[in-house]
């Protein structure tokens, strides 16, 4: 009996030490990720300051210059405004590129599914919102990181919109493959809305979020479909075509 007791104590001590090491490792990893995220934020701030912010300041100066030219030299004013337009388009491209490259670290480290589950956990922990993830664990390996980022961003934006505006009890995030396409669905059981009304105006509640999702879908040549009706919930679907090489690779792996 004494030996059994000592063995039981030894096992408990061993488990406690193992758990302590796991906890220490987890805390170290959390600290490292936090430091990486802080550095990423600093880099983004530097990139914005060195790029788009300076260009926008230059655009403001050129617009003021063109305004003074209008009466004195309309032709030169028109040429100056054309240069301003070119600068504006370039700045838009730069900002879109920055948005495309912003991804949560867990997406780069562990992939899309892990990032979606983390999103669901955060929504539940912080906002007490029930988010359910339904996906095939093998699917995202066929998507490059840029497309995974677009899928995650649209899922995140759709979940946020549902939580803030839909008054939904449940939000479902589904990821699946259909032939040569990847499909993301975000569905809620909330109050729904008039899709046409939101599309018609940036001023309506939540419409800017839908515009952002459409822009993200365009960046990966995806098709975004929003289906909703008042009192019937909302379903947002993103469909992205697989590259031919990805289709060939998938067929080879399963043959």
Same domain, 113 and 60: no
Residue among 162, 145, 141, 149 at smallest CA distance from 210: 162
Q: Which of 101, 124, 148 is the last residue of a domain?
A: 101
Same domain, 62 and 169: no
Same domain, 205 and 235: yes
Task: Give per-residue pLDDT as tens, 116-156.
Answer: 998 999 899 888 999 999 987 666 566 888 888 889 999 99
- What is the structure's pLDDT at 238? 97
First to last CA, the chain: 58
- What is the structure's pLDDT at 75? 92
Residue 201 class from Cβ within 10 Å (0-12 exposed, 13-18 middle, 19+ buried)? exposed
pTM score: 0.60
Same domain, 37 and 128: no
- Give the ranges where the chain is alpha helix by DSSP (H): 2-48, 54-72, 74-101, 105-110, 112-127, 145-161, 195-200, 207-219, 244-253
- The domain that holds 78 is classified in CATH as 1.20.5.1930
Same domain, 216 and 96: no
Same domain, 124 and 241: yes
Same domain, 212 and 113: yes
- What is the structure's pLDDT at 129? 93
pLDDT in 10s for each residue of the chain, 255 residues: 677 777 788 888 888 888 888 888 777 766 766 676 677 677 777 888 788 888 889 999 999 999 899 889 999 999 999 999 999 988 887 887 676 566 677 887 888 998 899 899 989 988 899 999 998 766 656 688 888 888 999 999 999 989 988 888 999 999 999 888 999 999 999 998 877 765 554 444 445 678 788 888 988 899 999 999 888 899 999 999 987 655 444 444 444
Residue numbers of the domain that contains 224: 109-253
Q: Is residue 145 part of a domain?
A: yes
What CA–CA distance (Å, rounded) separates 226 from 236?
5
Provide the domain count of the chain. 2
- What is the structure's pLDDT at 183? 94
Measured between alpha carbons, how far is residue 93 from residues 43, 49, 182 in Å?
18, 16, 26
- What is the structure's pLDDT at 79? 92
């Amino acid at each position: 009996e004494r030996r059994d007791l000592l063995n039981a104590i030894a096992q408990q001590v061993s488990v406690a030490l193992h758990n302590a090491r796991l906890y220490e490792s987890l805390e170290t990893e959390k600290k490292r990720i936090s430091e990486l995220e802080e550095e990423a934020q600093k880099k983004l701030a530097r990139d914005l300051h060195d790029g788009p912010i300076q260009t926008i300041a230059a655009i403001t100066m050129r617009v003021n210059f063109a305004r003074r030219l209008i009466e004195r030299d309309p032709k030169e004013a028109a040429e100056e405004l054309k240069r301003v337009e070119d600068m504006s388009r370039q700045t838009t491209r730069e900002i879109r590129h920055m948005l495309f490259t912003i991804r949560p670290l867990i997406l780069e480290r562990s992939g899309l599914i892990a990032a979606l589950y983390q999103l669901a956990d955060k929504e539940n922990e912080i906002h007490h919102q029930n988010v359910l993830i339904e996906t095939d664990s093998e699917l995202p390996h066929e998507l490059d990181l840029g497309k995974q980022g677009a899928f995650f961003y649209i899922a995140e934006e759709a979940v946020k919109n549902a939580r803030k505006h839909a008054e939904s009890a449940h939000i479902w995030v589904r990821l699946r493959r259909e032939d040569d396409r990847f499909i993301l669905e975000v569905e809620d059981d909330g109050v729904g809305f008039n899709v046409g009304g939101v599309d018609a105006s940036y001023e309506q509640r939540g419409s800017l979020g839908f515009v952002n999702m459409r822009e993200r879908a365009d960046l990966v040549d995806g098709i975004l479909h929003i289906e909703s009706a008042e009192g019937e919930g909302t379903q947002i679907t993103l469909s992205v075509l697989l590259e031919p090489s990805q289709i060939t690779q998938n067929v080879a792996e399963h043959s």
